[in-house]
């Protein structure tokens, strides 16, 4: 029964590409239209077949982690690219159609990120070994989408591009007080202090990130300009000229969007500017992938722009600029994946093979979602005053502005 249901599920899903599956009893099945590079998957027990039939979004990652699903030549990127490129809302067989609706109905419960729960969620992912993140991130530990002016940019260059682009959107001037909500390992805060002369308060709920950020600021001679605190955004007091939040909004949780943007409004000076950088979903609101929620980012959620803006509109803030980054995170994740793969023996020494397979799946699945599905990055620039930000985007592109200001000298003709 389970094999028949599995066969029906894949025939419904795989319309393009070429997938061969070998079942536990040795039977071979082919799916897709035969185009592209073929991918060959082996399933090693009947329990995996059953779990994939009943709850594929959760079971697929678990099967790969546990080694009960293997891919020839371990072509994980090719396999996940094939699955994600074929997936759409009509691909579910009838017995799976209740799952998405149930997950959406339970979103507010699963994302009820009160302070204690928010700390626990952060610790699950960000308080892993410091050595792990050094193995695949850039030297400044930027764990968010980089900005590729060219797809061939190095990871270090693209992450530097991101930080300076955000600084221009914030219009930082020396002496400004800046709040960095969800500061991570502190790289953005140090850039704003060192290169732009700002006084920065960076807050995080991760003890590991907090310790690293403070140590690094002291080592770089920035301790008098950057202050890092273990603090929830809801507990911050005072006002700031600028607020930046990179890759943190995904952890806020739907029930707290109003609280989050009210905090932005109340902590921002009347002529201040804020910049929110978040992963976003460009289709109808959905639920968090259950495998990601269980193993990688508990309490996390990828918002749609409509969900973000609905709360911005009630917070008395201007959406001064909204920008969507496409494919930048796919490029970023490929750099991370390649670096992680190159250092898997070191990761295995820190944890075990199951952890290695879990993180390999996480990085590859996220990349393919940014390449083939409806995931992107939103940057929302906010202000309290209508005129806090220039009327045009020229200030973001100084080279373009110079070219406009200095048109080429016309050639004079001789009669």
What residues act catalytically? 366
Q: Which helix (H) or strand (E) holds 166?
A: helix 155-170
Q: How far apart are CA 191 and CA 160, in angstroms?
A: 9
Going by C-beta distance under 8 Å and a sequence separation of 6 or more, which residues neighbour residue 91? 12, 13
What DSSP letter does each residue of 92-140 carry, written as one string? --GGGTHHHHHHHHTHHHHT---HHHHHHHHHHHHTS-HHHHHTTS-TT
Torsion of CA 294, 298, 299, 303, to 10 degrees: -80
Residue 42 DSSP SS3? strand
Residue 161 DSSP SS3? helix
Residues pairing with 199 in the sheet? 177
Q: Which of 145, 159, 154, 157 is nearest to 330 (CA)?
A: 145
List phi, psi (to 5°) of 411.
-80, 130
Q: How far apart are CA 230 and CA 219, in angstroms?
A: 19
Q: What distances in angstroms separate CA 330 from CA 65, 84, 367, one per listed residue? A: 22, 13, 5
Burial 217-233 (b: 16+ CB within 10 A, else e): beeeebeebbbbeebbb
Cβ atoms 39, 22 nearer than 8 A: no
Secondary structure, 3-state, 310-340: HHHHCCCCEEEEEEEECCHHHHHHHHHHHHH
Q: How far apart are CA 143 and CA 204, in angstroms?
A: 14
Q: Which of 182, 173, 221 is nearest to 201 (CA)?
A: 182
List phi, psi (to 5°) of 406.
-125, 75
């Amino acid at each position: 029964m389970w094999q028949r249901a599995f066969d029906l599920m894949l025939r419904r899903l795989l319309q393009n590409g070429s997938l061969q599956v070998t079942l536990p009893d040795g039977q071979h099945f082919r799916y897709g239209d035969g185009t592209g590079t073929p991918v060959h998957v082996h399933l090693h027990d009947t329990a995996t077949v059953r779990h994939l039939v009943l709850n594929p979004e959760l079971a697929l990652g678990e099967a790969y982690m546990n080694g009960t699903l293997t891919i020839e030549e371990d072509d994980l990127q090719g396999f996940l690219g094939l699955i994600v490129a074929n997936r759409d809302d009509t691909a579910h067989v009838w017995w799976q159609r209740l799952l998405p609706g149930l997950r959406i109905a339970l979103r507010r419960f699963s994302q009820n990120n009160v302070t204690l729960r928010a700390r626990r969620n952060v610790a699950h992912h960000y308080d892993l070994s410091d050595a792990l993140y050094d193995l695949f991130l850039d030297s400044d530990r930027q764990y968010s989408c980089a900005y590729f002016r060219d797809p061939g940019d190095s990871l270090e260059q693209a992450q530097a591009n991101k930080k300076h682009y955000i600084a221009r959107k914030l219009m930082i001037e020396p002496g400004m007080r800046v709040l960095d909500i969800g500061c991570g390992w502190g790289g953005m805060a140090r850039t704003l202090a060192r290169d732009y002369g700002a006084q920065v308060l960076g807050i995080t709920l991760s003890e590991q990130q907090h310790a690293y950020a403070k140590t690094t600021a002291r080592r770089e001679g920035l301790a008098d300009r950057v202050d890092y605190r273990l603090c929830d955004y809801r507990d911050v007091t005072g006002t700031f000229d600028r607020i930046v939040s990179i890759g943190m909004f995904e952890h806020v949780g739907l029930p707290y969007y109003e609280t989050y943007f009210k905090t932005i409004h109340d902590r921002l000076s009347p002529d201040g500017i804020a910049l929110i950088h978040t992963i976003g979903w460009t289709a109808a609101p959905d639920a968090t992938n259950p495998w990601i929620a269980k193993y990688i980012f508990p309490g996390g959620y990828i918002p749609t722009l409509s969900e973000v803006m609905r709360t911005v509109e009630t917070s008395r803030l201007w959406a001064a600029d909204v920008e969507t980054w496409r494919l930048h995170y796919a490029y970023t994740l490929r750099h991370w994946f390649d670096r992680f793969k190159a250092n898997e023996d070191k990761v295995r020494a820190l944890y075990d093979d199951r952890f290695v397979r879990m993180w390999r799946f996480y990085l590859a699945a996220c990349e393919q979602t940014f390449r083939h599905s409806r995931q992107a990055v939103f940057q929302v620039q906010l202000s309290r005053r209508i005129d806090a930000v220039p009327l045009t985007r020229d200030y973001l592109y100084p080279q373009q502005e110079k070219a406009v200001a200095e048109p080429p000298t016309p050639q004079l003709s001789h009669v």
